[in-house]
Amino acid sequence: MATTSYSQLHRCTPLSVSLPSLCSCPCRPSPSRTLVFTRTSAKLGNFDLFFDGNKRPLGLGRNGILARRRALTAVARAEPKNLGDDNANQEVHKGHKLSSNEDVVSEHQQKASQLKKRIFFGLGIGLSVGVVVLAGGWVFAAAVAAAVFVGAREYFELVRSHGITEGMTPPPRFVSRVCSVICALMPLVTLYRGQIDVSVTSASFFVAMALLLQRGNPRFAQLSSTMFGLFYCGYLPCFWVKLRCGLAAPALNTRIGAAWPILLGGQAHWTVGLVATLVSFSSIIAADTCAFLGGKAFGRTPLTSVSPKKTWEGTIVGLGGCIATSVVLSSIFCWPKSLLSAIAFGFLNFFASVFGDLTESMIKRDAGVKDSGSLIPGHGGILDRVDSYMFTGALAYSFVKTFLPMYGV
């Protein structure tokens, strides 16, 4: 028990009142002091006047008995209230801390689960794509056609999203569905006809006529978005078929081809198109992986406002990984024979993959969505996985066909 002394005025006798000890820790406000004024009056005798910290009188009485009782009662009532408030504040604070901890743990668990899904389905997709590329022929063309059909459906759904339709008029649904089918047929036509130019021109003409002859008021935005869909989702992927299946010159220096089983085609199965496709695919995968890891570790400077998560540091690391993969695989496959050609091929693959990625990011940003779809758990839609390959096939085919003498053999 602590003793609290009070002031004396005039001819007052010092007064000491024993009050309960109050906690003075900084976690709660200190209790208000009570002042006692004792004065002697000829008529009233000794009386005490008490004031609390808010300058409110607590009592007035002879010899201070009544005032002392009221002061002690007020202090006694204030202490449990303060303790109760402090306990309540502590409980609320603990509740907030527990809630924050639970949110952090839940967020970490969600990220870990998302990463596991990405790794699991990424490995599955990688193995499947590897088998399809090795098979070649109609298997490869059919796989590309299936991916193109799903990607075209996702593209036209993005075009019809609320974020894009605010500034334009989307094409009718029947036109979108017809264009998706046309895009899916383009890789098959490329495989069996070798050329796609006439088919693309004819398809564009019929789609334009359908848009112009529709009921209502045709808009240029409908024509432009539809034509870009035919080009982006249909025409560009056809170059992968031309690269894999069209460049049939044998890669004679490839050691793996010499040991390839006869039942699977033997050495003749390993063509320039197969090697170029494997090197290009592997370089793109290395570029995406290295750019992601480099951005996480060193990313500071944003690359562009189209994709805020991409950084210059991650881009530089991705470029290094892409070129290194191209050089290493060119040494393994003995294609291309020139080191300078291998470096140029890696740089070209990286440039085209970044451009394709940013193009799809721009479409999604205007559409106001994070992913183009939900087909692949942990990865989003098919466009989210193949955006880096859209322009790469055309540039890779042009580079091998035009700039490498004898296809780099």
Q: Identify the CA nearest to 388 among candidates 255, 246, 285, 316.
A: 285
pLDDT, tens digit, 9 for 90 and up, residues 277-309: 999 999 999 999 999 999 999 988 999 888 888
Strand, coil or helix: 270: coil
- The backbone torsions φ and ψ at residue 308, rounded to the nearest 5 degrees and listed phi first, read -60, -25
Q: What pLDDT is recorded for position 85? A: 53
Cα 150-151-154 angle, rounded to 5 deg: 90
| Average pLDDT value over all residues in the chain | 78
Token pair of 343 as six digits: 């470096």
* Contact status, residue 149 vs residue 196, Cβ threshold 8 Å: no
Q: Which of 41-50, 208-217, 376-385 has the lowest mean pLDDT?
A: 41-50
Q: How high is the pLDDT of residue 218?
A: 78
pLDDT tens per residue, range 73-100: 554 455 444 445 555 556 555 555 556 6
The two most distant CA atoms of the chain are separated, in Å, by 129
pLDDT in tens, 156-192: 999 988 778 776 778 888 889 999 999 999 999 999 8
Question: Taking residues 8-27, what's their average pLDDT?
Answer: 43
Identify the pLDDT of residue 206.
Answer: 87
What's residue 394's pLDDT? 95
Task: Kindly give the pairing relationship between strand 2-5 and strand 307-311.
Answer: unpaired
Unique residue bearing structure tokens 């024979």: 337
Residue 160: name the closest of 380, 237, 152 by CA: 152
Q: Are 59 and 67 in contact (CB under 8 A)?
A: yes
**Distance in angstroms (rounded) separating the CA atoms of residues 105 and 126:** 31
d(CA 397, CA 404): 10
Q: Can you read off the two tokens belonging to residue 373?
A: 């779809």
Asked if the model's pLDDT at residue 9 lies above 90, the reply is no
Boundaries of every domain in the chain: 2-98, 113-408
Q: What is the pTM of this model?
A: 0.72
Question: What is the edge-to-edge ordering of all strands in the sheet holding 35-41?
Answer: 35-41, 45-51, 57-62
- Give pLDDT, residue 251: 85
Tokens of 65: 């008995």
Q: Does the pLDDT value for residue 250 go beyond 60?
A: yes
The residue among 182 and 23 whose pLDDT is bigger is: 182
Establish whether the linkage from the previous residue to 336 is cis, with ω within 30° of 0. Answer: yes
Higher-pLDDT residue of 59, 236? 236
By mean pLDDT, which of 80-84, 255-259, 311-315 is the weakest? 80-84
